[in-house]
Amino acid sequence: QVQLVESGGGLVQAGGSLRLSCAASGSIFSINFMGWYRQAPGRQRESVASITGGGSTNIADSVKGRFTISRDNAKNTVYLQMISLKPEDTAAYYCAAEVSSTILPGSKLYWGQGTQVTVSS
């Protein structure tokens, strides 16, 4: 079994910064893809940023230049640094990881429970 635990969300004023963390634990052999998604009330979940095991990143146009994704492979942790936050960034943020476990064949996409980010104007 694999668990993803996010942290770092909260309430911040527009223009402020937050850093989200997501730590994976459990029966992990390797982690390829790690990413951040967000879902605002009444809207579909959307991809925010992703990073491969080799460090290649993909950032959504809506947050490009303001959000940065990084990972610490030794800690099985992915980060999302968010600056210049806007009210429209308000959402529940979820991390996801494609994990090859030590007890199951193949790989599986796991999700965290989500952390709320609220940006006030």
Residue 75 CA to residue 72 CA, distance in Å, equals 5
Neighbours of 81 (CB within 10 A): 15
Q: What's residue 113's pLDDT? A: 96
Q: What's residue 82's pLDDT? A: 98
CB proximity list for 87: less than 8 A, separation 6 or greater: 14, 119, 120, 121
CB proximity list for 97: less than 8 A, separation 6 or greater: 2, 4, 22, 24, 31, 33, 34, 35, 78, 109, 110
CA-only gyration radius of the chain, Å: 14
Choose among 89, 67, 91, 90: nearest CA to 80: 67
Q: What's residue 61's pLDDT? A: 98
Q: What's residue 102's pLDDT? A: 84
Q: What's residue 1's pLDDT? A: 87
Q: Copy the structure tokens of residue 68.
A: 């940065």
Which portions of the chain are predicted below pLDDT 50?
A: none
